[in-house]
């Protein structure tokens, strides 16, 4: 494939054209939003820590993400861009030179697990093509005390319940295909990171999580003590789901309290926060100050996440709930307003454009859908 010179953010980049999965070096231009938000997250973390940070982009591909860290984040000490693919390693060196970042960036050609097993960094970024599971153990050990770990998963179908056997085999957690499948997949990914860190008596706490197109992406802090690991594990639990009416309850339940049908259970999985409010606000503020090409798309995503930051787990896809219970599909904003008028917390979710999150019980939600004029 032909090598092209592109531009993303403040970085110039040599990358191969055509479909990214067929290229000699993987580069997905559709992931620009995730890289924008990653730049903002690393900058927010640097400002909170107020120290020069070392960053490792362990599966760098063309080097775009790591180069953007070096070029667009203030206060970094060094950025190591690593990839075992020899073509990637040569291209990374070429891109470092193209952007005149030789003092701040170094290129490395090494198996990511070998690299991470031998060195420690303030920020470790794992962005594989597929599941991150093969790299989590070495990444968990490679993050400095009170450092940050960033993880991407692109095997969304397994995480989200389409292939529950695959999810169980790779992540050690039982999944199922529900109407809130995207959030379920995100929570399973976070659960796997927490469990892996706990093996080394380290605690992982999510700071910023989001899903776009075919990506799950999570940033979290790693604390080097067993009490932090225990605190995270205490927030694990189960979700039971009724496939007849759409009811869901936190915990194990064999029978639906609404329609008395059998329920299926997923877990154990993380039931805590997906985003830390203070850190999320710092990321949002940073994006607001920048002139990203996709700034409007970035902010639209962040504004949806902001609505759900403090809402409980698992959204309701209103189209699916209406279909299963033979109700009209409401206008989302009217439903949210009615829930709030009745004293419940409610908001949209970035996981699904036809869904709401609320602390109202399923029976209450269903009653509103059946009795209130919400069209």
Which residues form the domain of 214? 3-307
Rounded to the nearest integer, the mean pLDDT of the chain is 95
> Do 102 and 165 sit in the same domain of this protein?
yes
DSSP 127: -
> Do 359 and 300 sit in the same domain of this protein?
no
> Do 217 and 267 sit in the same domain of this protein?
yes
> Do 30 and 115 sit in the same domain of this protein?
yes
**Does residue 23 have a pLDDT over 60?**
no
> Do 324 and 267 sit in the same domain of this protein?
no
> Do 292 and 320 sit in the same domain of this protein?
no
> Do 192 and 267 sit in the same domain of this protein?
yes
Residue 60: exposed, middle, or buried by beta-carbon count in 10 A (0-12, 13-18, 19+)?
buried
> Do 215 and 339 sit in the same domain of this protein?
no
| Of 307, 327, 354, the domain-final residue | 307
Return the SS3 of 10.
coil
Give 33-84 pLDDT, tens digit per residue.
999 999 999 999 999 998 899 999 999 999 999 999 999 999 999 999 999 9
> Do 92 and 190 sit in the same domain of this protein?
yes
Mean pLDDT along residues 139-161: 95
| Of 307, 326, 361, the domain-final residue | 307
Mean pLDDT along residues 223-248: 97
Assess contact for 63 and 81: CB atoms under 8 A: yes
> Do 252 and 206 sit in the same domain of this protein?
yes
Assess contact for 288 and 301: CB atoms under 8 A: no
Q: Where are the alpha helices (DSSP H) in 82-224?
A: 86-98, 112-118, 133-142, 156-159, 164-171, 181-199
Q: Which two tokens stand for residue 6?
A: 């592109």
CATH number of the domain that residue 337 is part of: 3.30.56.70
Domains contained in the chain, number: 2
Mean pLDDT along residues 174-198: 97
| Of 307, 334, 363, the domain-final residue | 307
Confidence at 27, pLDDT banded by 50, 70, 90: confident
Q: Give the DSSP H or E segment for 58.
A: none
């Amino acid at each position: 494939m032909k090598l092209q010179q592109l531009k993303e953010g403040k970085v110039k980049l040599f990358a191969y054209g055509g479909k990214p999965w067929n290229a000699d070096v993987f580069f997905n231009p559709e992931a620009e939003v995730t890289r924008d938000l990653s730049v903002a997250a690393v900058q927010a973390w640097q400002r909170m820590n107020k120290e020069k940070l070392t960053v490792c982009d362990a599966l760098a591909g063309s080097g775009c993400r790591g180069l953007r860290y070096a070029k667009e984040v203030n206060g970094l000490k060094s950025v190591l861009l690593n990839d075992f693919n020899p073509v990637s390693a040569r291209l990374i060196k070429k891109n470092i030179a193209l952007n005149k970042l030789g003092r701040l960036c170094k290129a490395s050609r090494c198996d990511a697990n070998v690299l991470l097993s031998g060195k420690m960094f303030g920020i470790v970024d794992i962005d594989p093509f597929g599941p991150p599971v093969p790299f989590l153990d070495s990444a968990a050990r490679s993050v400095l005390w009170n450092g940050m770990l960033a993880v991407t998963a692109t095997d969304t179908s397994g995480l989200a319940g389409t292939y529950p056997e695959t999810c169980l085999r790779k992540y050690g957690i039982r999944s199922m295909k529900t109407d809130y499948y995207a959030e379920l997949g995100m929570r399973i990914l976070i659960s796997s990171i927490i469990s892996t860190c706990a093996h080394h008596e380290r605690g992982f706490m999510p700071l910023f999580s989001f899903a776009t197109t075919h990506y799950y992406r999570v940033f979290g802090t790693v604390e080097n003590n067993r009490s932090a690991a225990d605190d995270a594990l205490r927030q694990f639990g189960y979700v039971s789901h009724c496939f007849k009416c759409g009811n869901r309850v936190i915990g194990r339940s064999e029978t639906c309290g609404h329609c008395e049908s059998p329920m299926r259970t997923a877990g154990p999985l993380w039931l805590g926060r997906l985003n830390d409010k203070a850190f999320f606000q710092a990321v949002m503020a940073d994006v607001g100050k920048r002139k990203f090409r996709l700034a409007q798309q970035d902010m639209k995503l962040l504004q949806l996440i902001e609505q759900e930051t403090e809402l409980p787990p698992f959204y309701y896809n209103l189209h699916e709930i209406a279909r299963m219970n033979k109700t009209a599909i409401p206008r989302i904003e009217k439903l949210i307003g009615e829930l709030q008028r009745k004293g419940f917390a409610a908001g949209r979710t970035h996981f699904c454009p036809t869904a709401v999150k609320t602390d109202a019980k399923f029976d209450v939600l269903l009653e509103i859908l059946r009795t209130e004029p919400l069209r």
